[in-house]
Structure 1
Amino acid sequence: MMPGRRVLLLALHGLLCLQVQLAARAEMQGDDGSIEDGSSIHFPVSPPVVPDAAEERREHFRALEAKDRFRHERLLAMSSSARNGSRRQARQTSKVPEVLSDTSEFAELPMRSALNIAHVGMYLVSVRFGTPALPFNLVLDTANDLTWISCRLRRRKGKHYGRSSPAQTMSVGTDGVPVKKATTNFFRPSKSSSWRRIRCTQPLCGALPYTTCEPTQTASCSYHQKMQDGTVTIGIYGMEKATVALSDGKMAKLPGLVLGCSVMEAGANVDAHDGVLSLGNGEISFGVIAASRFASRFSFCLLSANSERSASSYLTFGPNPAVMGPGTMVTDISYNNDIRVGFGFRVIGITVGDQALDIPPEVWNDRLKYGGVILDTGTSVTGLVPAAYDAVTGALDSHLGHLPRADIAGFEFCYNWTFTGDGVDPANNVTVPSFTVELQGGAVLQADAKSVVMPEVQRGVACLAFRKLLEGGPNIIGNVLMQEHIWEFDHRTGIMKFRKDKCTNHHLKDNSNSTAAAAPDVHQAPRYVN
């Protein structure tokens, strides 16, 4: 890259940080014009839902592997795009229509899981965008920096591209074949008085990712996010507000959010929701912008897919008292050199039962190509590079290998065995061993049996819940292994906290006597910038 261009991009990067942080730190106002210190914002969240019918449940578990395979290809494409220059690549590979060229308060958003065989294992967050505020169900995505909503632009000849009606999206079916479905819940910028579109001529546009317009164009600042798995979203950027409800009944506006208004979506996993809520590592990430208003941190608790239908959990912005409890672990956040939007932790080793596995340390080194670990709520089954995968599955198979093997497409280690809830089956001489991930600083992540064994991929067949990442790393901890833990991330201090939790009782008003974590030093430089 030419030195002058690099200086320009750094300047634009700084401008982007300044604009979104100033907007996000603007005073939030309730219906009476103010918010009291210590007030909270929270919404109930329903748990992941697995179909009740036996065969649909089996299809659900088989679909997880196909969905995760496409997801991993998308993450690798994001890595390649970052290295090769996303704007140049977007312009060369896309044909886009011309017009598209600190406080003690906390905020919580509702989260639920989509019940759709073509879109399994994803957690959805309900967020109200625009003025007047309307609700949208967005996928919770910790490995993405682009927040977008399916959108309809006002049709003006020569002015706006709009979209066909009904809009068609594509998703991956149980057999891996794309399936078309209709999307009906759209965001309409023309009906929101708080929407402010960004133009190509604005310096801010030049600092946004995935842009496809030249600085001399007067059209709206457009983006085209295209991944190797065929997932595509095309639209325009704007600034928008979200509306959240306070625990005392007031409503509050969260301004300064960078929102993608998507007029075309296609590919894997875009049909069963209204868009994506980004919690990734990036200046335009919803997670980063919202957390900058609420003590620089956010947290969430992922309910088990086996939870009761009435159970609820939360995505929280600000200090969450529920994070601090018995068994809370603390470790540093690691930032991957290849997948810049991802973040995770530094692994020291893995123990299965009482056996410490022999895995090369470079597998966990996030500064090496294909090394390190990211936490990805959009992935279900944990993916490991071959050296780690072989060691983990070999150790688990030593406890289950006496069972008759079954051949299931997409899975390497499957057994003719009916999985019991706690992984203990004396009749078949089976006990699923403990699975412990040892982290930097002494923290440990202990997974239950239901997080390391998929219960019934076919009738009477259980499989190990791990994928081999033949396409390359980093290693990916999926939401199945993350479930029934509460996680908190503070990008300003670079600290992560987590502990085991059923995630069923996190109403903040019921935790007023809990000890909240101390607020970070507001003068310390943010850690999310790579």
Structure 2
Amino acid sequence: MPGRSVVSVLLLLLLHGLLCLQLVALAEIEMDDGGVMEEGSCTHFSVSPPPAPPEDAEERRDYFRAMAAKDLFRHEQLITMMGSDRNGSRRRQAKESSKLPEVMSATSMFELPMRSALNIAHVGMYLVSVRFGTPALPYNLVLDTANDLTWINCRLRRRKGKHYGRQSQSQTMSVGGDDGAAAALAKKEANKNWYRPAKSSSWRRIRCSEQECADLPYNTCQSPSKAESCSYYQKMQDGTVTIGIYGKEKATVTVSDGRMAKLPGLILGCSVLEAGGSVDAHDGVLSLGNGHISFAIHAVLRFGGRFSFCLLSANSSRDASSYLTFGPNPAVMGPGTMETEVLYNVDVKPAYGPRVTSIFVGEERLDIPDDVWNTEKKLGAGVILDTSTSVTSLVPEAYEPVTAALDRHLAHLPRVNMEGFEYCYRWTFTGDGVDPAHNVTIPRFTVEMAGGARLEPEAKSVVMPEVEAGVACLAFRKLPWGGGPCIFGNVLMQEYIWEIDHAKAKMRFRKDKCNTHHLHTSTGGEVTNGTSRSGKQANSTCNGTSSSSTVVHRVN
């Protein structure tokens, strides 16, 4: 691929710097008591882990099949997004795909197994509870660092003017198998939290005639009509389709001094149709990606330019939860905290990740070409952090040396064929990956980044235990040639706290079990100062600079 134009990149930086300065002027927060938010405040949201793999052998196979299918669909759409962004055709594709029958027909690609009542739709996804609207109501949304559109399942009241309306009690679709699965999903459907704009006094729909609508992604407006609602069509990276209308709404949060506040001016997708294998497990998506409509970008402009999250292991207790924090979080800084630069992906616009320099297995530095990581020289290069992808996916130039090096430590074990994984072994992996009885020691896996930061995940994030009873698999998948960028999924990211500091274009991380400094006890951004599960006093004090002068660096 030809090299990137330095002039083009500088122009992007300049243009988006100006955009961010404009956004800062809008970065207001409404305190419910009419006062001013204290300098260095933060807010926390409760995050629940994905379901643990079930004990039943058949359900366990379905669990990992679902994980593989979800990751495949997500990557396929990421590649589509990358190609359309480069030739400017995304909006044209959205308009051509906006009709309801076409969306319906797109569901034929979703083949997730649904033979039992197992909620595989939630496999590998972290849910965060956020309150939207006036009065504020809670919604369970998927945490998504590679998406810029926040949307909620929505029911519109028919009015004059042209916009989509949910035509039946349920327009949410997923694929099914037997009647038991259908009944389980029907029950879940009945318990959905529907967002109803007509019942929120703070909702304001955006019309096709407004310039703001023209600037929104995934736009499907056919004409600049004042009567027509600004509509969108998005096919997410995991294959999920959603169509609906854009509006502005408020989120209600609790800041660190205990006072209630509202975040105004948030772009919200009111989704009137969802199709895909995962839509029954949640109320929508919370975007933490890099984009001017992203929830994260709006929130960090009000809370010090940064946010952090900690991903519990999928094997955590079902009543466990971790946290998503906007603003300075003292839990980020501790023993072993690493810092590196944030690399904003110029091909997949909402995405970002670290600038990787090398990978080690044990003490061996793997022979991976430098241009695998260099986004300035190669289309599809670099790494993105994606909380909605489970298993880390690598381009062949990285995948082959990584798996070859790990396989040398496991090759004496019997190989097993498993759907969705290439390297699996007949071996019961317990504890820390050290098994003298079978002559197995899983080597240290290290990702080295710009500035010397080193990510060293636990053995269970490198070799996935018990994919089937008595079978362990390498926790990596191979992307097709030209199918980059590489994706660090949530299996690799779990049991680390991550901070994305947009104000300084820095990323910080350190090992953390994610439940030793519990910063909340309820959903929707509630903060309490109390005792953590470990018995230590939870520290919810925020410190840092005021968000009033935050300048967020974004390139997209």
TM-score by length of 1: 0.87
User: Within 2, Cα distance between the matches of 1:514 and 1:14?
Assistant: 31
TM-aligned CA distance change 1:127 to 1:376, over 3 Å = same
Match of 1:527 in 2: 553
Question: 2:30 pairs with 6, 28, 31, which one?
Answer: 28
User: Within 1, Cα distance between the matches of 2:40 and 2:119?
Assistant: 38
Aligned residues of 1:492 and 1:528 also touching (Cα < 8 A): no
Match of 1:416 in 2: 426
User: Within 2, Cα distance between the matches of 1:318 and 1:383?
Assistant: 30
SS for the counterpart of 1:139 is strand
Within a 5 Å distance, the mapping from 1:75-474 to structure 2 comes to 75-84=78-87, 85-95=89-99, 116-156=119-159, 159-171=162-174, 181-182=185-186, 183=189, 184-214=192-222, 216-218=224-226, 219-226=228-235, 230-367=239-376, 368-470=378-480, 472-474=483-485
Match of 1:479 in 2: 490
TM-aligned CA distance change 1:172 to 1:70, over 3 Å = farther
Aligned residues of 2:50 and 2:123 also touching (Cα < 8 A): no
User: Within 1, Cα distance between the matches of 2:164 and 2:274?
Assistant: 14
SS for the counterpart of 2:262 is strand
Q: What is the RMSD computed on CA atoms of the aligned residues?
A: 2.9
User: Within 2, Cα distance between the matches of 1:452 and 1:314?
Assistant: 24
Query: Match for 1:60: what amino acid?
Result: Y
TM-aligned CA distance change 1:46 to 1:336, over 3 Å = closer
Query: Match for 1:62: what amino acid?
Result: R
Deviates more, 1:432-441 or 1:520-529: 520-529
Q: How far apart are residue 41 of structure 1 and its match?
A: 2.9
SS for the counterpart of 2:121 is helix
Aligned residues of 2:45 and 2:325 also touching (Cα < 8 A): no
User: Within 2, Cα distance between the matches of 1:314 and 1:42?
Assistant: 6
User: Within 1, Cα distance between the matches of 2:233 and 2:438?
Assistant: 53
Are residue 48 (structure 1) and residue 53 (structure 2) matched?
no
Paired residue total: 501
Aligned residues of 1:87 and 1:209 also touching (Cα < 8 A): yes
Query: Match for 1:185: what amino acid?
Result: N
User: Within 1, Cα distance between the matches of 2:55 and 2:373?
Assistant: 40
Deviates more, 1:160-169 or 1:287-296: 160-169
Unmatched 5+ residue regions in structure 2? 1-11, 102-117, 520-528, 530-536
Deviates more, 1:407-416 or 1:382-391: 407-416
Query: Match for 2:218: what amino acid?
Result: Y
Q: How far apart are residue 276 of structure 1 and its match?
A: 0.5
TM-score by length of 2: 0.84
Aligned residues of 1:342 and 1:374 also touching (Cα < 8 A): yes
Aligned residues of 1:438 and 1:445 also touching (Cα < 8 A): yes
Q: Deviations over 1:420-457 (max 9, x none)?
A: 12111111111111100000000000011100111122
User: Within 1, Cα distance between the matches of 2:547 and 2:34?
Assistant: 30
Match of 1:494 in 2: 505
Deviates more, 1:435-444 or 1:56-65: 56-65
Identity %: 66
Match of 2:3 in 1: none
Q: How far apart are residue 336 of structure 1 and its match?
A: 1.4
User: Within 1, Cα distance between the matches of 2:439 and 2:390?
Assistant: 28
Query: Match for 2:200: what amino acid?
Result: S
Higher relative contact order (CA 8 A, sep 6+): 2
Aligned residues of 2:504 and 2:553 also touching (Cα < 8 A): yes
SS for the counterpart of 2:82 is helix
